Amino acid sequence: MLKFVLLIGDIVGLALSSSTGLSEMIASGVVSHVTSTSLSVAYDGQHDTLLELDNSTQYKLVKLANDVTYRRLLRLSLIFFKNVNTH
């Protein structure tokens, strides 16, 4: 059995569960609390669709790459290459 671990600070996406495996992300947020039976995700105020979730619909959480880290690395890479090209 595959074990899936979510930790506080992980970035997750909320999507409709689909039999095809392809689904559109409804929102993304950060895991804020984890217990053995529950998971809390903090979303920003831009996701009004979360107020309209249907209890009869199945959803899935998808662990996303940490885009904050990616942006930091990209910014540092650009600074590095800029400095290399000027010397």
Reported as a pLDDT band with limits 50, 70 and 90, residue 76 is: confident
Residue 87 clears pLDDT 70, i.e. is over it: no
Question: How many whole angstroms separate alpha carbon 83 and alpha carbon 75?
Answer: 12
- Give residue-wise pLDDT tens across range 12-50: 888 888 766 667 788 888 889 999 888 999 887 776 666
Greater model confidence, 30 or 67: 30
Q: How many CB atoms lie within 10 A of CB 43?
A: 16
What are the helix (H) ranges across 1-87? 67-86
Q: Where are the domains of the chain?
A: 11-86
